Amino acid sequence: MEIYFKLKKRATLAEVSYITIGDVADIYAPAGLQRRILGIRLFALRGDGAYLISAVDVVRAIDSALPGHTVSNLGEPDCVVEFRVIKPKPRPYLVWVRVILVSLILFVGAATAIMAFQTDSQLGKVFERYHELVFGEKNENPYIISIPYSIGLGLGIILFFNHFSGKKLTREPSPIEVEMATYQKEVSDSMIENLEQQKEDGK
């Protein structure tokens, strides 16, 4: 009988003492057999940290528990398992203090970056020149141009990041989500390389 499994790229566990196949892979097999496979233990956790599970480990465990079956992997060759001890949640007011502080830092940083860019590009002079060309008179504070520009800048940021008030405007991932996915993939690849090197050094 053929058994198919799809190894995950990354898995996070907490409050468990061992890793099972069900933690790191999806299984395709007859219902009764599938439940048995999902519960097969791979190895015991030795503490907080990262562990590397390879497709070979899964094949070896299935073959040991259920000999005589053909086992095929349809997913990743390796899976990084992160085990974390659950810590008590901080008090609600501390969470709000952190949120307010981070929001304030981000707001000040973004405002500084925008103002620095406007100053370097002499955008104020550009607005003055536009006003003079369109209306025929010089105005050092052309609000008729700067106000729509400020509104458009805010709307452009909202559209670019594809979020407003905690809701996505479209189904497409935002640039931040794309960058985070790329970052997570690179982190996983790096962790796999490091854990493989540690395995080789430990042999």
Judge if 37 and 100 occupy the same domain: no
Q: Using alpha carbons, list the distances in angstroms from residue 105 to 25, 42, 88, 97, 110.
A: 41, 45, 26, 12, 8
Within a domain: 130: yes
Last residue of a domain, one of 62, 84, 106: 84
Q: Assess if residue 202 is contained within a domain.
A: no
Flag whether pLDDT at 101 surpasses 90: yes
CATH of residue 69 = 2.60.480.10
Per-residue pLDDT, 191 = 83
Q: Could you tell me if residue 30 is inside a domain?
A: yes
Q: Do 48 and 101 belong together in one domain?
A: no
Final residue before a domain boundary, out of 57, 84, 111: 84
- Position 155 in a domain: yes
The three-point CA angle 58-21-48 to 5° equals: 105
Looking at the fold, whether 164 and 190 belong to one and the same domain comes out as yes
What local confidence, expressed as pLDDT, does residue 100 receive?
93
Q: What is the pLDDT of residues 51-97, one digit of tens each?
A: 888 899 999 999 998 888 889 989 888 888 888 777 777 788 888 89
CA-wise closest residue to 21 among 37, 6, 35, 2: 37
Q: For residue 14, what are the domain limits?
A: 2-84
Which of 28-32, 34-38, 44-48, 83-87 has the largest mean confidence?
Answer: 34-38
What mean pLDDT is predicted for residues 120-124? Answer: 84
> What pTM value is reported for the model?
0.62
pLDDT at 168: 67
